Chain A
Amino acid sequence: SLVIRGEKDEQAVLCSKDKTYDMKIADTSNMLLFIPGCKTPEQLKADPASCNIIHSQIAGFSNNYWELRRCRPKLRKLRKLLMEDPYKGPDSQKDQTSTFSQYTTEDLLSLIQASEEEILHELQVIDACKIEGYWRILEFDYEMKLLNHVTQLIDSESWSSNKVPLRTCLEELGSLEPTEMIEHILLSYGRKYTDAGEVYFEMHEDKICRAIAQMLLQNAVKFNLSEFQEVWQQSVPEGMTTKLDQLKGLALVDKNSRPETIFLLKVEDLPEDNQERFNSLFSIREKWTEVDITPYIQDLCAEKQTVGALLTKYARSSMQNGVKVYNSRRPIS
Chain B
Amino acid sequence: KLSHLTRSTGAGGLAQWVLVELQGEVEPRQSGELAGSLLGDLHYTHEGIPVLIVGHHILYGKVVQLEKPFAVLVKQGAGEPGAEPLARYGVTALIKTKLLFKTRPKPIITNVPKKV
> Which positions in A face B, CB cutoff 8 Å?
1-7, 14, 29-42, 44-45, 56, 58-59, 61, 65, 109-111
Contact = CB atoms under 8 A, between A and B. Distances in A.
A59 B72 CA distance: 11
B84 to A, nearest CB: 14
Interface residues of B, number: 33
Contacts of B39: 33, 58
B17 A32 contact: no
Contacts of A111: 1
A5 B20 CA distance: 31
B23 interface: yes
B21 A30 contact: yes
A35 B1 contact: no
Interface of B: 1-7, 15, 17-26, 39, 42, 44, 48, 50, 63, 70, 72, 89, 93, 95, 97-99, 102
Given A3-B5, A41-B48, A42-B48, A36 B15 contact: yes
A38 B44 contact: no
12 contacts: A4-B2, A7-B1, A30-B102, A31-B26, A34-B93, A35-B18, A36-B15, A38-B18, A42-B48, A56-B42, A58-B20, A110-B2
A31 B34 CA distance: 13
A41 B49 CA distance: 8
Given A38-B18, A41-B44, A41-B48, A31 B24 contact: yes
Contact of B17 (A34, A45, A61): A34
B20 A35 contact: yes
Contacts of B17: 34-38, 59
A41 B21 contact: no
A32 B2 contact: no
A7 B2 CA distance: 8
Contact of A5 (B1, B63, B95): B1
Contacts of A4: 2-5, 89
Nearest to A53: B41
Given A40-B97, A41-B44, A59-B17, A34 B2 contact: no
Contacts of B5: 1-4, 14
Nearest to A60: B72
Contacts of B4: 1-4
A40 B98 CA distance: 9
